[in-house]
Chain A
Amino acid sequence: MAKVDMQYIEVVAPIDSAKDLFDFLQVRSVMEIKKLDETDGLDYFETGPVVTSIEKYLDTASTALEIADRYAPEKSSLLSALKGIPVLSESEYIKKSDEADEILGVCLKICAAEKNITENKALISRARAAMDGVEPWLSLDVPMQFKGTESSKAVIGTLPDEYTADSLRIALAQFLEGEERYECEVVSKSAGRSCIFVLVHNEAYENVLSALRRLDFAFPSDPTKHPPKVRYERMKAKIEAAKEEIGNDTALIKELAAERDNIKFACDWFTIKRDRYKALQNTSAGDTVVAFGGYLPAEKTEALKEELYEKFSAALEAADPPDEDVPVLLRNKPFAAAVEPITEMYALPDRTDLDPNPVMSIFYYVFFGLMLSDAGYGLLMAIGCGIAKFKYKVTGKLKKTVDMYFWCGLSTVFWGALFGSFFGDIIPRVSEQFFGKVLTVPWAKEPGSIALWFEPVKDPMKLLCYSFLFGIIHLFFGLGCAFVKMWKQGNKTGAVFDCVPVFLLILGIVPIGAGILNVTVPPVLVTAGKYLAIAGAVSVVLTAGRDSKNIVGKLGLGLYGLYNTASGWLSDILSYSRLLALGLCTGVIATVVNTLGCIPSNKAVKAVMLIAVFIFGHVVNMAINLIGTYVHTNRLQYVEFFSKFYEGGGRSFTPLKTNTKYYQVKED
C-alpha cells in the first residue's frame, strides 16, 4: 500500500509555548493544521493584521530582490538550476532569522533608491520640456514677464508664420493707419512660428496689440521672471544634479545587491512567518492553553507525541476525523515514485482508490521505450538524466521527473537493441557505406539487420500482435486493480461479478482474435477459447443486470452490459496499436535522416554531409518523438488503464512547512 495512512489528532499545549511549538511543527513539516470542531469557551487567534503586515514586508523584500536583479543581474546557467537550492541547518536558520530586520532595512533602502531614480527620471524629462520651451527666447535679454518702461509697454509673445522685423512692420501697417510709435524685434523664428518682442508707446498700445491679435498673436503660457537664459541654465543644472543622483542611487543599489543572498533569505523567512501565522488562525486559545487538530502520517504520531510532551509539555491524542476530507500522501520506492507526477497531473487517488503508481510505473517505462524505440535516443536520455541524478543530485519534484526519464531512457535502450535501431540504422549503414561491410547478426532472416529480436519495419504485423498482447496485459492489471479495490471496500460480490466474467470473455477471445491476425494458434486453444468466451459472455449477461428488480430488466441490462464490455474492450485494445505506429515513426524517420546524409558518392563529402545531417536530423526527430511518446504513454495510462478502476479526486497533503524558494531548511 503506497498511500500513507493518515491519522487525525488533536493537540493541547500551554499558551506560552505556542509560538515555539508552531516553529517546531513548521520545520518538521509533518502535520496539516485544521480547526477543531468543538471549541467551547475557546477563541480563535486573530492573526489577520499580523499576516497583512508580514505580507507587506515580504512584498518589500521581493521587490528589492527584483530591483537588485534588474540593476545587477546575477549570472545563472542551466547547470546551476540543476544544482538545486542551498541547504541551511535548523540552527543556521534560526541565527540568520535574527538578522531579518536588518535585511529589511537594506531592502527598504533599495526600494527607496529605486523610487528616487524613478522620480529623478521624471524630473529630468520635465526639465527637458522646460528647456525646450525657453530655447527660442534665449537671445532675449529682458525677462519674458518684462512689462515695459514708464512711457512704453513691452509685448512679448509668438506669432504663427515666420517674420523678419521688416516684414512684421509691413504686416502690422495694414491695420494701423499710420501709427508708427512702436519698435519690432524678432527674437527667433523657426518652423512656422516667430517669437517677437515689440516695444510700444503707452498711447499706441491698444491699437498695436489689437493689430497683433489680428495676426493671431499669443502670449507665452509660462513667461520667465528672469531673462530666459537664467531659466535655461537653472534647468540644465537641475538635470545635471538629477543625473548625478541617479548615478549615486544606481551605485548604491549595485552595492546593496551584494546582500542578495540575505535578501533571498529574508523572502523565505517572511514566507515562513506568514504561513505560520496563517496556520495560527486555525488554533483555538483559552487563557492558558491553545488547542488545534490536524492530520499527519499515522506512523509519525508516536514520535511526535513524545517530542511534543518533552519539549512543550503539550498533549497529543488521536481522534476521529471531523469529516471525510482526509488528505492523501503517496510514498513509493523511487522506481514507482518517479511516475507520481504523471498520476498527480490526472488526479490524486481519493480515499477508496488504490495508489496506481507501482503498477503503472513498469508499464509506463515499457510503453515509453517501445514507442521511442531507438537505443541511441534512449542512451542520450539515460546519460543526461543520470548526470542530473548522480552528479547534481537534484531533489524534490524535479528528481522524480529526472528519475522517470532515466528509467524511460533505459527502457528505450532495451527496445532499441531488440529492434536493432541505434540512431536509426547508422551502424550498419556506416559500415556498409564507408567500409563496404554488411553487418548482420547470425539469427537475422535477411542481411543488414543487427536487431537482437526483429526489425518492426520488416514485420509490422508481428509487432502489432505484440502491441495488442501488451495492451491486454496492461488492461488485465487494471481490471485486477478494480477487483482488489472492490474487494477491499467489502464489495466482494461486485468484485467477483464485475471482473471475473470479463477476464473469461477476453481470455477466450484472444486465441480467436489472434487467428484473424494470421497468428498460428494451436486448435486446442481456439476450442478452449470458444468455451471460455461463451462462459464469459453468458456470465456477463447474467451478472451485469443484477441490480434490476424484474427479470426483463435483468436480461436487458445484462445484454447491454455485454455490448458495452465487448465494444469498450475492443476499442481499448486497438488503441495499443499506437505502440507500433509511434515506434515505426521514430525508426523510419531516423533511417531517412541517415539516408539523406549518405547521398553524395565521394566518401569525404559523404562523411561531412552525414555528420551535419546526422546532428540536425536526429535532434529534431528525437525532440518531436519525445513529445509524441510522452503524450501517448500518458494517454494509455489515463484513458485505457485508469478507466478500469481509478476515480481520483483526492486532496493532496499540505503540511505546515517551510515553503521556501531560495533556501532549504533541514533539521539538525
Chain B
Amino acid sequence: MSFGIMFAILGGVLAAAGGGAGSAIGVGRVGRAAAGVVTEDPSKFGKVLILQILPGTQGLYGFLIAFLLLTQIGVMGGSPIQLTAAQGLMYFAACLPMAICGFVSALHQANAAVSGVSIVAKRPEESGKAIIFAAMVETYAVLALLISILAMFNITANINA
C-alpha cells in the first residue's frame, strides 16, 4: 500500500464522515422540533417528517462520494490501483468539497428546517414553502457533490490516460 492510496481513502472517509455527521446532527435537531409539534397535533406527522429528512441528504451524498472513490481506486473490487502520493492527494482534494460543504450545509439546512417546523405548527397549509426554504440550502450541497464527482472522474480519466 502506498501513501497515494492512503490519501485517497482518507478523502473518501472524510466525505462520508463529514456529510454523515452533519446530517446526523441536523436530522436530530429537526426531529426534536418536529416531536414538539406532533405532541400537540399528531396529524402533522407527515408534514414535519419531510422537513426532518431534508438535512439527511448530505449524509447520503457523502456516502455516495466515498463509495464512488472506493470503486474508482479499485479498493471496492479488491485490487487497488497504484497511486503516487500526488495522485492520492488529488483524490483527497476532490473529496473535500463534499466533506466540508456537506457538514456545514446540513447544519444550516437543519436550522432552516427547524424554523420550517414552526411554520407547519402555526400554518400547516403553508408547509410547502417551509420545505422550499430548507431546500434552498441544499443547493450548495448538490453543487459540492457535483464538483467532487466531476473532479474524481476526471482525475481517474487522467491517471488512466
Q: Are A624 and B146 in contact (CB under 8 A)?
A: no
Q: Are B142 and A582 in contact (CB under 8 A)?
A: yes
Q: Which of A223-231, A264-272, A290-298, A632-640 contacts B (4 or more CB under 8 A)?
A: A632-640
Q: B67 an interface residue at 8 Å Cβ cutoff?
A: yes
**Min C-beta distance of A432 to chain B, whole Å:** 14
Within 8 A of B (CB), among A87-125: none
Which size bracket describes the interface of A in this complex? 20 to 34
Q: Are A635 and B146 in contact (CB under 8 A)?
A: no
Q: Are B142 and A638 in contact (CB under 8 A)?
A: no
Within 8 A of B (CB), among A429-473: 460-461, 464
Instruction: Please give me the residue from chain B that is nearest to A574 by CB atom.
Output: B143
Q: B9 an interface residue at 8 Å Cβ cutoff?
A: no
Q: Are A345 and B136 in contact (CB under 8 A)?
A: no
Interface code A620-638, partner B: CB below 8 Å = 1, 0 otherwise? 0000100110011011001
A631 and B139 contact, Cβ closer than 8 Å, known pairs A460-B150, A577-B146 = no
Q: Are B149 and A460 in contact (CB under 8 A)?
A: yes
For B63, what are the chain A residues with a Cβ–Cβ distance below 8 Å?
589
Q: Are A580 and B146 in contact (CB under 8 A)?
A: yes
Q: Are B145 and A588 in contact (CB under 8 A)?
A: no
Q: B25 an interface residue at 8 Å Cβ cutoff?
A: no
Interface centre among A631, A632, A638 (most CB of B within 10 A): A631
Q: Are A589 and B64 in contact (CB under 8 A)?
A: yes
A581 and B142 contact, Cβ closer than 8 Å, known pairs A588-B64, A592-B67 = yes
Which listed residue (B53, B61, B143, B146) contacts A627, Cβ 8 A?
B53
Q: Are B64 and A578 in contact (CB under 8 A)?
A: no
Which listed residue (B56, B61, B131) contacts A631, Cβ 8 A?
B131
The secondary-structure label for the interface of chain A is helix
Within 8 A of B (CB), among A560-589: 574-575, 577-578, 580-582, 584-585, 588-589
State in angstroms the CA–CA spacing of A581 and B129 once bound together: 23
For A589, what are the chain B residues with a Cβ–Cβ distance below 8 Å?
60, 63-64
**Min C-beta distance of A587 to chain B, whole Å:** 10
Q: B90 an interface residue at 8 Å Cβ cutoff?
A: no
**Min C-beta distance of B127 to chain A, whole Å:** 9
Within 8 A of A (CB), among B38-93: 50, 53-54, 56-57, 60-61, 63-64, 67-68, 76
For A346, what are the chain B residues with a Cβ–Cβ distance below 8 Å?
128
**Min C-beta distance of B29 to chain A, whole Å:** 18
Count residues of chain B with CB under 8 A from any CB of chain A.
Answer: 27
Q: Are B146 and A581 in contact (CB under 8 A)?
A: yes
State in angstroms the CA–CA spacing of A635 and B139 once bound together: 10
State in angstroms the CA–CA spacing of A102 and B113 once bound together: 50
Q: Are B56 and A624 in contact (CB under 8 A)?
A: yes
State in angstroms the CA–CA spacing of A589 and B129 once bound together: 29
Q: Are B61 and A638 in contact (CB under 8 A)?
A: no
State in angstroms the CA–CA spacing of A441 and B138 once bound together: 36
Within 8 A of B (CB), among A342-367: 345-346
Which listed residue (A345, A460, A588, A638) contacts B67, Cβ 8 A?
A588
Q: Are B153 and A631 in contact (CB under 8 A)?
A: no
Which listed residue (B50, B132, B139, B149) contacts A578, Cβ 8 A?
B139
Instruction: Please give me the residue from chain A that is nearest to B53 by CB atom.
Output: A627
Q: B155 an interface residue at 8 Å Cβ cutoff?
A: no
A selection of 27 A-B contacts at a CB cut-off of 8 Å is: A345-B128, A345-B129, A464-B146, A577-B142, A577-B146, A578-B146, A580-B146, A584-B64, A585-B64, A588-B67, A588-B68, A595-B76, A624-B53, A624-B56, A624-B57, A624-B60, A627-B54, A631-B54, A631-B132, A631-B138, A632-B138, A632-B142, A634-B131, A635-B132, A635-B135, A635-B139, A638-B132
Which residues of A are interface residues toward B (Cβ below 8 A)? 345-346, 460-461, 464, 574-575, 577-578, 580-582, 584-585, 588-589, 592, 595, 624, 627-628, 631-632, 634-635, 638-639
Which residues of B are interface residues toward A (Cβ below 8 A)? 50, 53-54, 56-57, 60-61, 63-64, 67-68, 76, 128-129, 131-132, 135-136, 138-139, 142-143, 145-146, 149-150, 153
